[in-house]
Amino acid sequence: MGLERRCIKCAERPLMVHQKVDNIEVDLCPSCHGLWLDRDEVFQLSTQSDRALDELRELVKVAGEGEPVIPSTQSCPACGGKISVASFDSFHVEHCITCGGIFLDRGELDRVLQAAGSKGIATVVGLARSVVVSGAKKS
């Protein structure tokens, strides 16, 4: 991980904080509580117990409104690549078309997991693939 990553949604672009979730290090915005997951982190989370996802839910549920979330116009916080927006059911997920990382706004983790379950997608990796494959529109 090692790189300083900045939130792609907050106007102030705060540094994201590294958080350990069941030995997986994810990036969390301290302001909007958005979550950046690298491609390998998505895969690692898909192999973990429900406890890891519960722990992750607690991290992104922090009380308070934080800064207003603005539409993403930033480059990828991990590799500098282009951020694309993929429509998935009734919401959108930002993802990097270069490195495959994804950004989840506060509250989207459960929506994403619920949508995955309703489509019979067993893992977070399957979900990420379906989001990317489902006709991502370039921003």
User: What does the pLDDT read at residue 27?
Assistant: 93
- 101 with 131: CB under 8 angstroms? no
Given pLDDT bands bounded at 50, 70 and 90, which one contains residue 17?
Answer: very high
- 12 with 31: CB under 8 angstroms? yes
pTM of the complete model: 0.75
Given pLDDT bands bounded at 50, 70 and 90, which one contains residue 136?
Answer: very low
Give dist(CA 24, CA 52) in Å, integer: 9
- Structure confidence by residue, pLDDT tens digits, 32-54: 888 998 887 776 776 777 787 78
Query: Would you give the end-to-end CA distance of the chain in angstroms?
Result: 26
Give dist(CA 63, CA 115) in Å, integer: 24
CA gyration radius, the chain: 14
User: Each residue of 21-58: b (16+ CB within 10 Å) or e?
Assistant: beebebbbbebbbbbbbbbebbbbbbebeeebbebbee
Whether 137 shows a pLDDT value over 60: the answer reads no
Whether 123 shows a pLDDT value over 60: the answer reads no
User: What does the pLDDT read at residue 84?
Assistant: 85
